[in-house]
Amino acid sequence: MTFNSTILTLPGLGNSGPQHWQSVWEREHNFLRVEQKDWETPVCADWIETLDQTIKQFDPGKVILVAHSLACTTVAYWAQKYNTLIKGALLVAPSDTEADTYPPGTTGFMPVPLIKLPFPSIVVASSNDYYVTTNRAKLFADSWGSEFVNIGDAGHINVASGFGDWDAGLELLKRLDI
């Protein structure tokens, strides 16, 4: 599968390890990771600034973001601040930073922005994700103007829930690469 866009991956809290689908996609398709300075105790303002600086290295109209977990919230905050028109975003397993189940240690990621994103997006959620309820994931998707895709019982859509090589995710990404 080939892509015509610049694909930037955005891991969530703790980064994505070598077996995570984001890392697999980077190796197999030459996608580029947005490297945050602090993966363990992130500050939202720092993450969105790093994201913006990375996007500015490319033609924004050709950039697709592939965000996982906390990075989905980062994308919403970035869009709220910069309102930059990119090609699109695949927002996978958006974590609910306002939920009691969300781990401590992050700064500035609450509340989750409920704004319409200025670019096409797809939210991919699971019906049994520990970090977000299906209803909250649907609320995020509706607020962001995103297509909502529930892939069923898939946990947090990460390595722990069996997602290393994730071909169905690539198919969803391909829908934004038009």
DSSP 91-122: EES---TTSTTSPS--BS--SPP----SS-EE
Confidence of residue 168 (pLDDT cuts 50, 70, 90): very high
Is the per-residue pLDDT at 8 higher than 90? yes
How many CA atoms are closer than 13 Å to the CA of 43, on its beta-carbon side?
4
CA–CA separation, 2 and 77 (whole Å): 30
pLDDT at position 162 is: 86
Is the per-residue pLDDT at 117 higher than 90? yes
Is the per-residue pLDDT at 150 higher than 90? yes
DSSP assignment, residue 130? Answer: T
Instruction: Tell which residue, 159, 138, 140, has the closest CA to residue 149.
Output: 138
| Mean pLDDT to the nearest integer, 11-37 | 97
Residue 146, Cβ neighbours under 10 Å: how many? 25
Strand intervals (E) in the chain: 6-10, 32-33, 63-68, 88-92, 121-125, 147-150
CA–CA separation, 52 and 88 (whole Å): 14
pLDDT at position 22 is: 98
Confidence of residue 164 (pLDDT cuts 50, 70, 90): confident
Q: What is the pLDDT of residues 29-87, one digit of tens each?
A: 999 999 999 999 999 999 999 999 999 999 999 999 999 999 999 999 999 999 999 99
